[in-house]
Structure formats: structure tokens, C-alpha cells
Amino acid sequence: MFQIIAPVDGSAPALDAVRWAAREAMARGLPLRLLHAYPPPPPRLPAAVDPESRWVTAMSEHGDHVLATASAVARAAAPGVDPILDQRMGTPSQVVVEASERAHAVVMGSRGLGGFRGLLAGSLTLTMATHSHSPVVVIHGTAPEPGPVVVGVDGSPAGDAALAFAFDHAAHHGVGLRAVHAWTDTVYASSWAPLPYLARWDAIIEQEHAVLAERLAGWNEKYPEVPVERVVVRDRPARALLDHADDAQLVVVGSRGHSPLRGVVIGSTAQSVLHHAECPVAVIPAR
């Protein structure tokens, strides 16, 4: 059975994520797993320290405290939720990536104990957005919002997966969906005079509206109860999403779009939204 997984490290952003994850688990009737990973013993320890006893004991006792605190936060946010407490030794990124194979979603704080002030997405967050087997929801702030789900639509495999996740989330929470289709990755200087004469903007805009309608058609039929606002703009995708997310409860993006760069697993749009959004962001892998 799929689970909602929330990695915890004792930081305030991680506890914000636990609150969101607990409410989501309750809404979906899914188990909530609180996951804490502690590192293996360093290669050089003082001779008096036994890696198999003192190190493990100290780390696991600290982990028990972190998990107990997170469990109390989850129960307070969603009464009736009984979290599964899971503690493992290993590199946090590896532990969470492996756990994501059995997750409906991994819900994370924007940054953990090692995060720099002003940096909205920490290293573990970016690692999970790149390598997770499941959707990753990154929480910014604490208060749940009643606003719509905002999703980027670009026609890529990850973009189509993002649409599926966004419609499903909107349906479960009884809110509308705002589908944003931005159709240029190029920034044109306003002083470049020839451009208006080279482009038939009306024809292009009409064509892009048709593209968005085609992408939404099947989902409108599957989720007729979800009201959909369609937004077509001549803008870069990341900026368009952020501009239309002021009242959003969740922004959903594919892990990568139509980038021609092979080996790039998380695209520039997903990275930009993760770094600058002020609401929760879900990054959806194509698989």
C-alpha cells in the first residue's frame, strides 16, 4: 500500500512538512510514515568509541526524540492519524530515495538543519526532486490555504504526470485547478522593433489555446467536478507559474520539460519554482 512519507530531522521546516503530510494522509486514508535517517559512523573515531554501540546508541536515542516530537505534531494536526515511526542508519538522501519507491508522495520541508538562511530549497530537497521515484511535495510556510491548485502544462511526459497529480489533488480537496500554459522560453527585449512584424501573435495565441484545450480534454472528462481556469501567456514557464500562484494552495510542476540537455533530470522551471514559490510545490517525475 502506498504511503505518505515525511522525512524528519528535528528542524522547524520538517515539522511544517509533517503537519501537511498528516492532513494529506488523513484526507486520503493513507498511512503516514515519519522517516529519520542518521549517518553511519565516521571512518575515524576515537579509540574509546565503539561504532557498534556508543555511536549507534547516541544516534538512535536522538532519532527517537526527533520521531516522538514529529509524531506529536502529526497527531495534533490530524487527530486520528497514527504515524509509523521509521529510523534507519544511512545517508539521508539514499534512505529517502529508496523509501520513495513505496510512496504516494514524499513531503519535505524546504530546508533542514543544514540549510542556509534565505535559501528556499536545501540540498536534500533538490536531490529528492531529481531522484525520487514518487512525487515530492516541498512545504514553504505553515498555514494551509483554501486556494486553487496551479499546474504547469507543457505537453512533456513529466508535464502530463503533473496534470494527473494536480487534478487528483484538486478533486480530493474540493478546490479548483488553474492550468498555466506558457509558450516561450525566450526573453525578448521590448526595444527589438522587428519582432511585432515577424510574429502573428493572434494566430499563435489561438493555436496555444488549442494546445492547452487538447491537453486538458481527457482530464476534464475524468474529473468533471473540478472547475478549471485556463491561462495561456507569452512568458517563460517559471515566471508564469509564480505570477499565477499568489493565492495557490499548491503549485505542481513536472520534474523536467522539453529541455534538450540529456542527463538533466530536474529542469530549470522546477528549480526556479522550488526556489521562489511561497506556497507548497509538488515536483512530479515522468515515471
Q: Domain-by-domain residue ranges, the chain? A: 3-139, 149-284
From first CA to last CA, the distance across the chain in angstroms is 18
Percent of the chain with pLDDT over 70: 79
* Average pLDDT value for residue range 80-100: 94
Q: Which residue did the predictor score with more confidence, 145 or 6?
A: 6
* Average pLDDT value for residue range 131-141: 90
Percent of the chain with pLDDT over 90: 54
What is the CATH topology of the domain spanning 3-139? Rossmann fold (3.40.50)
Q: Give the pLDDT confidence score for residue 259 in this predicted structure.
A: 46
Lowest mean pLDDT, pick from 78-82, 140-144, 173-177: 140-144
**Amino acid, single-letter form, for residue 28:** R
Does pLDDT of 114 surpass 70?
no
Q: Give the pLDDT confidence score for residue 29 in this predicted structure.
A: 95
Give CA angle at 243 (238, 246), nearest 5°.
120
pLDDT band at 256 (very low <50, low <70, confident <90, very high): low
Question: pLDDT tens across 150-201, in order?
Answer: 999 988 888 899 999 999 999 999 999 999 998 765 544 444 445 554 556 6
Q: Give the pLDDT confidence score for residue 157 in this predicted structure.
A: 84
Does pLDDT of 231 surpass 80?
yes
CATH class given for the domain over 149-284: alpha beta
Q: Which residue did the predictor score with more confidence, 113 or 28?
A: 28
Q: Give the pLDDT confidence score for residue 40 in this predicted structure.
A: 84
* Average pLDDT value for residue range 263-276: 74
Lowest mean pLDDT, pick from 90-94, 126-130, 161-165: 126-130
pLDDT band at 122 (very low <50, low <70, confident <90, very high): low
Does the fold of domain 149-284 match that of domain 3-139? yes
Q: Decide: 249 and 149 in contact? Cβ < 8 Å.
A: yes
CA distance 22 to 81: 7
Distance of CA 92 to the CA centre of its chain: 17
Match 538512535 to its residue by C-alpha cell. 60
Q: Which residue did the predictor score with more confidence, 210 or 135?
A: 135
Q: Decide: 216 and 165 in contact? Cβ < 8 Å.
A: no
Q: Give the pLDDT confidence score for residue 195 in this predicted structure.
A: 52
pLDDT band at 266 (very low <50, low <70, confident <90, very high): low
Does pLDDT of 202 surpass 60?
yes
Give the residues across from 201 on adjacent strands.
none
